[in-house]
Amino acid sequence: MSSLPPAPSLLAPDEPPAFEVVNPDGRSSAVLLCDHASNVVPRRLARLGLYGDELSQHIGWDIGAARLSRRLSTLLDAPLVLSGYSRLVIDCNRPPGSPTSIPQISGGVPIPGNAIDAAEAEARADACFWPYHRAAAALLDARRERGKSTAVLCVHSFTPSLLGEDRPWHVAVLYGRDRRLAGPFLEALRREPVLCVGDNQPYYVTDGGDYSIPVHGEARGLPCVLLEIRQDGLIRDEDVEAWAQRLARIYREIEAALLPGAGGA
């Protein structure tokens, strides 16, 4: 009896990598993470059985978040790590094995391709989750070795309406144990009269429901915050630019007080 052939890798050699690192040597104290940057699904997963436009909607990715992150990376001269695959393949901001890591229903939409066993879930984590987080960890390790001041900013976007409920916030500042960045971000954003600002709304950060803030920020003792922009504010290029300019300006103000001498660019 011959042994079984090796299981085919989830990602074919010509498919995109699980992560992208932009400007790794950026001089800013900010390190940007974009957990939900992409809506790509590995070919072998056959669109997860979704044949409408679901993958281009908010359940597939954070609309506009990658564009905003890239612009912010340029304005701040900050390193940025982006995930390469859809959150519906495996969510890069959920602990693997947690109930929403590989959701069978998302935003009310059934995901047929996500009725899978533990081995398949592990294969997705190995292909799409761990490489992204290893890249983020390596970047943060390298900065620690160089003694570089660092704060972690996770950039997300949220849908204006979920399951029939409208969200009034234009921007949300989310945090867990560490308010060193969140507090000043809330203060600065609230000074802008046109903005409705969510304070840990519509979500908040938890160890069970989040990964990047607890692991890359809190566990390392780094100031960290999760910023969410409502997606209708990230459709037009000029709106993305306005958000990037605003967040970069606010971060520089905060940085000067929080991490004296850390100013990079």
Residues within the interface to Zn ion (CB under 5 A): 36, 62, 156
Residues 6+ apart with CB under 8 A from 258: 151, 180, 181, 184, 223
Q: Which one, 31 or 259, has the nearer CB to Zn ion?
A: 31
Closest residue to Zn ion using C-beta atoms: 156
Helix ranges (DSSP H) in 4-129: 65-76, 118-124
Helix ranges (DSSP H) in 92-129: 118-124
Q: Which one, 36 or 170, has the nearer CB to Zn ion?
A: 36
Find residue 22's DSSP bridge partners: 80
Tell the smallest beta-carbon distance from residue 69 to Zn ion (Å): 11
Residue 58 CA to residue 65 CA, distance in Å, equals 11
Residue 143 CA to residue 137 CA, distance in Å, equals 10
Residue 245 CA to residue 148 CA, distance in Å, equals 24
Tell the smallest beta-carbon distance from residue 253 to Zn ion (Å): 25
Tell the smallest beta-carbon distance from residue 86 to Zn ion (Å): 11
* Angle of CA points 74, 76, 77, to nearest 5°: 60
Q: Which one, 54 or 62, has the nearer CB to Zn ion?
A: 62
Q: Which one, 35 or 218, has the nearer CB to Zn ion?
A: 35
Q: Which one, 143 or 156, has the nearer CB to Zn ion?
A: 156
Comparing CA positions, the residue from 247, 201, 212 lying closest to residue 92 is: 212
Tell the smallest beta-carbon distance from residue 14 to Zn ion (Å): 27
Q: Which one, 36 or 230, has the nearer CB to Zn ion?
A: 36
Helix ranges (DSSP H) in the chain: 65-76, 118-124, 130-145, 182-190, 212, 237-258
Tell the smallest beta-carbon distance from residue 62 to Zn ion (Å): 4
Tell the smallest beta-carbon distance from residue 134 to Zn ion (Å): 20
Tell the smallest beta-carbon distance from residue 39 to Zn ion (Å): 12
Find residue 156's DSSP bridge partners: 228
Q: Which one, 149 or 157, has the nearer CB to Zn ion?
A: 157
Amino acid at 122: E
Torsion of CA 182, 186, 187, 193, to 10 degrees: 160
